[in-house]
Amino acid sequence: MKKAIILFFVIVIIPIFGFTQSIKNLDYISPFYDGIAAIKKGNQWAFINNKGAIIVGFRNDVVTTKMTNENYPIFSDRRCLIKQIKDGISYFGYIDADGKTIIEPQFLNASNFNGGKAIVLELVKEMVGQNKALGKDVVYYKYYEVTIDTTGQIKNYLTQEAVNVVLDKEFMRKPPEIISKHISDNLYAVMYKDNTWAIIITNE
């Protein structure tokens, strides 16, 4: 009588666990805003998505926004404010959610985007003559308060009268204030020199 040989195979199941990644030694982690949170290390900020992945690396040119009782940079309409200092003067622009500069720093001040629009101070250079003795052009600078879209195109002028400005760090120690407010859809409130307000209805 032949003996039946029964082979028993033992299957060993080795559990496979996902590897966790972490971002350590952070000084601050902001709440999520529009699906993106800011993280701070030293004097630099980076941004993460809701999966914890860094989408914009650490950099020191982003502008913080006061949110409740805290200050941190935000993305709004997929745009974040950045600042570049030239000859002691601050110029503002925007990056997109990939960290690419989408609007070059060129404005004397700028707000976060809201509904596809932002309020900025557009700098205008005006040549008025030439100093023949020094061989230099005589120029004046002024700015208007305008709205732009997310590509940087000017859409509306909120102030019709330009404000003269001296582009010198001794005269301009901080950015001029934005006096307009976005109040609803295409409505803006603008303060005049006599401290009265006007409501501006834009066409876009």
Task: List the pLDDT tens digit at each of the 204 positions of the chain.
Answer: 455 544 444 445 555 555 556 789 999 999 999 999 999 999 999 999 999 999 999 999 999 999 988 999 999 999 999 999 999 999 999 999 999 999 999 999 999 999 999 999 999 998 877 766 666 777 899 999 999 999 999 999 999 899 999 999 888 989 999 999 999 988 999 988 888 999 999 877
In this structure, is residue 167 part of a structural domain? Answer: yes
Cα gap 194→114, rounded to integer Å: 27
Domain boundaries, position 163 = 76-201
pLDDT of residue 6: 47
In this structure, is residue 59 part of a structural domain? Answer: no
In this structure, is residue 7 part of a structural domain? Answer: no
In this structure, is residue 106 part of a structural domain? Answer: yes
Q: What is the pTM assigned to this prediction?
A: 0.85
Beta-ladder partners of 70: 67
In this structure, is residue 34 part of a structural domain? Answer: no
Cα gap 154→32, rounded to integer Å: 29
In this structure, is residue 58 part of a structural domain? Answer: no
In this structure, is residue 63 part of a structural domain? Answer: no
- The upper half-sphere exposure of residue 76, i.e. CA atoms within 13 Å in the direction of its Cβ, equals 18
pLDDT of residue 52: 94
In this structure, is residue 157 part of a structural domain? Answer: yes
Number of domains in the chain: 1
SS3 letters for the chain?
CCCCCCCCCCCCCCCCCCCCCCCCCCCEECCCECCEEEEEECCEEEEECCCCCEEEEEECCECCEEECCEEECCCECCEEEEEEEECCEEEEEEEECCCCEEEEEEECCECCCECCEEEEEEEEEEEEEEECCCCEEEEEEEEEEEEECCCCCEEEECCCCCEEECCCCCCCCCCCCCCEEEEECCEEEEECCCCCEEEEECCC
